[in-house]
Amino acid sequence: MEADFWLQRWQSREIGFHQVAANPLLVSCFKQLALPPDSRVFIPLCGKTLDIGWLLASGYRVVGAELSEIAVKELFAELGITPTIKPVGSLQHYAGPDIEVFVGDIFKLSAANLGPVDAIYDRAALVALPATMRQDYAQHLITLSECAPQLVICFEYDQAMLAGPPFAVDSQQLQQLYGSDYQLYCLQKLEVPGGLKRKCQATELAWLLKPTKLGSDND
């Protein structure tokens, strides 16, 4: 999707994708990453998700990347944190206790600027991208994180019934994107109550991605 699409969604408050509670699959499955307290978790295209508050309350540090500065300002306001803000290359860096967010194009974020992360939580990023962008995105995440383990939440549904986003991403697509670097494990499936956007039956799935590269610090 073009950047203007998402920026306009925030400007016009078309943010039906924003959930009113922490994602149930995050709450039930995050422990499968087996992260010690104070681990640093990267959330790509984070918006102002309440998942961040859940992770902070659970004792983790969070670093996000988000295109919309409106979303990031609202995130910090809702967390009750006054951020320090500074430019980092073409991005803006918002920071507070145990939380940082890079504002701008995620493809402009470098591994050096991001710093080490212990895991990736991808709830709304992969499914927000059309198929033409997913390969570049997946490779960028692998480079940014040095192949950190991931908890990825996806939707499966008949793409012909709904244009997306969120887009359908099934196990075969995940394998194509990440199978060379990770072992994939489906942890849990939930039927979307009432269907996706009330238009079609859909399943939400949580996937654990464990890196397979020899010598990885995350093995």
Indicate the domain borders of the chain. 3-9+23-211
Determine if residue 66 is labeled as part of a ligand binding site: yes
Q: Where does the pLDDT of residue 216 fall: very low under 50, low under 70, confident under 90, or very high at 90 and above? A: very low
Q: Residue 218 pLDDT > 90, yes or no? A: no
C-alpha atoms less than 13 angstroms from C-alpha of 65 in its C-beta half-sphere: 27
Average pLDDT rounded to a whole number, residues 69-82? 95
Determine if residue 50 is labeled as part of a ligand binding site: no
pLDDT at 215: 41
The pTM (predicted TM-score) of the whole model is: 0.91
Q: Where does the pLDDT of residue 2 fall: very low under 50, low under 70, confident under 90, or very high at 90 and above? A: low
Determine if residue 10 is labeled as part of a ligand binding site: yes
Determine if residue 45 is labeled as part of a ligand binding site: yes
Q: Rounded to the nearest 5 degrees, what angle is found at the Cα of 32, between the Cα atoms of 27 and 34? A: 110
Q: 29-38, 109-118, 171-180, 194-203 — which is least confidently predicted?
A: 194-203
- Give me the count of residues in the chain: 219
Average pLDDT rounded to a whole number, residues 97-103? 98
Residue 148 to residue 212: CA distance in whole angstroms: 10
Amino acid at 7: L
pLDDT at 164: 84
Q: Where does the pLDDT of residue 217 fall: very low under 50, low under 70, confident under 90, or very high at 90 and above? A: very low
Question: Under CATH, domain 3-9+23-211 is a member of which superfamily?
Answer: Vaccinia Virus protein VP39 (3.40.50.150)
Average pLDDT rounded to a whole number, residues 3-10? 65
Amino acid at 182: Y
Are the CB atoms for 26 and 51 separated by under 8 Å?
Answer: yes
Helix ranges, the chain (H): 3-11, 24-29, 51-57, 69-79, 111-114, 131-145, 171-178
Instruction: List the one residue out of 210, 216, 213 whose CA is nearest residue 174.
Output: 210
Does residue 205 sit in helix, strand or coil? strand
